[in-house]
Structure 1
Amino acid sequence: TVGDLLVRAVPARHDGRRLPFGPHRAPALGYVVEGEGRTYFAGDTGLFDGMEKEVGPVDAALLPVGGWGPYLGPDHLDAGRAAEALARLAPATAVPVHYGTYWPIGMDGVRPHEFHTPGDEFVRLSALRAPGVAVHRLGHGESVRVGVAR
């Protein structure tokens, strides 16, 4: 608890190692922050069975969408898998996060769309898979005020 906020750790699906054969130092976690409303910060995760049960009902979901398509595997959400997570979680509002932040040397010249487009692609796919959710792709310095459903 932090003041009037309750912070609850929830499971995430992510290997978490920095090297392919490095040690597992800690479990992957996401967080649900409860105050006036409930917000799910997924952290770095893949889609997993029971995600909606582990997370519980939320008003807003901050979902990572920069999983480079199939390249990083099932422990990461790309725009499509994040839209599926959104359909399962069914919050009122969502914000795509964690994309365009890790630029391996040379990739920006070869596959720049992998870094620039995930937020827009998430907005597009979410409209198809979770049409009842208001998705806000925020630019630097922008914010959104989330309504409370309960």
Structure 2
Amino acid sequence: MSAVTWWGHSFTTVEMSGTFVVTDPLMPRRLFHLRRLAPVPPPRATRADLVLVSHLHHDHLHVPTLRRFDDAVPIVVPRGAVRAVGALQRLQAIEVGPGDRLTVAGVEIEVLPARHDGRRDKRPGAATSESLGFRFRRRDMTCWFPGDTGPMDFSGIDPVDLGLVPVGGWGPSLGDGHLDPEQALEAVRAVGARWIVPVHHGTYWPAVLRTSGPAFEHWFTSPAPRFLEAARAAGVAEGVVVPAIGVRTSLPRATMTS
């Protein structure tokens, strides 16, 4: 059985033939000026055989969340992350870069480039590394997780069964290095995916803006509906899955491709 659970932001669990692959885990109720406007994931969200981390930003490489996983779980991170984030030295971190191919916990991983700021934070001289995407496979299921990225050429990525595509952010503007809902649909169509789950939306919000009333509400609520609307217009809406946070969605085996 294959399945996917979206825990909010870019945190997902992909079940592939009994193996649990987690992407960019993030569990706190508060992260700096951001507030989580969705349920905090339960302890079962930390069940994993493999964790993939796309880049150094605190909302994707969150050390307190990573420490909640079993100490033996391998964590694939961008090359240079261990030097930049010293706490990773005490975890099972495996550094990789674009173009690398490796097998970890029985999962075949292809490391992809991403167009996104790789700094840990915005301070001058802040530690940096390349941001990454991943295409990974376990037996008869494949998945594409681009991490955070701006528009780029995705056509060289082989088709997958499941695409986890970022469609929003955590504030009233995305800025460079992100995909809006329409760009996200173009990206996932360039790759090709039987199932599509929009991520990186509707989870964290700057507290001061979230309490400013309806004028800002659409920035928080609209990315997933906009993505689904674009998918309908393109005739691919039947493959879009927009699960509630924490709801496990089974992916019928009959649809899986090699």
Shorter-chain TM-score above 0.5: yes
Deviation at residue 105 of structure 1 after TM alignment: 2.9
Whether the 8 Å CA contact 1:87–1:129 is kept in 2: the answer is no
Listed as ranges, the matches of 1:22-33 within 5 Å are 22-23=125-126, 25-33=128-136
CA distance in 2, matches of 1:9, 1:27: 11
State the match for 1:63 in structure 2: 165
Deviation at residue 31 of structure 1 after TM alignment: 1.0
CA distance in 1, matches of 2:186, 2:228: 12
CA distance in 2, matches of 1:47, 1:69: 19
Out of 105, 122, 125, the residue aligned to residue 19 of structure 1 is 122
State the match for 1:124 in structure 2: 229
Q: Percent identity?
A: 35
Q: Give the residue type in structure 2 aligned to 1:149.
A: T
Q: Give the residue type in structure 1 aligned to 2:223.
A: P
State the match for 1:141 in structure 2: 246
Runs of 4+ in 1 over 3 A off after TM superposition: 20-24, 67-70
* Structure with more strand by fraction: 2
Alignment partner of 1:44 is 2:44? no
State the match for 2:205 in structure 1: 103
What is the TM-score normalised by the length of structure 1?
0.84
| 1:67/1:47 CA distance change after superposition, 3 Å | farther
Deviation at residue 74 of structure 1 after TM alignment: 3.6
CA distance in 2, matches of 1:123, 1:13: 24
Instruction: Please identify, of 130-139 and 64-73, the stretch whose mean Cα deviation from structure 2 is larger.
Output: 64-73
Deviation at residue 130 of structure 1 after TM alignment: 5.3
Provide structure 1 residue ranges, at least 5 long, that are not aligned to the other structure. none
Out of 64, 72, 79, the residue aligned to residue 181 of structure 2 is 79
Deviation at residue 71 of structure 1 after TM alignment: 2.8
What is the TM-score normalised by the length of structure 2?
0.52
Q: Which has the larger radius of gyration?
A: 2
CA distance in 2, matches of 1:13, 1:131: 25
Deviation at residue 140 of structure 1 after TM alignment: 1.7
Provide structure 2 residue ranges, at least 5 long, that are not aligned to the other structure. 1-102
| SS of corresponding position for 1:10 | strand
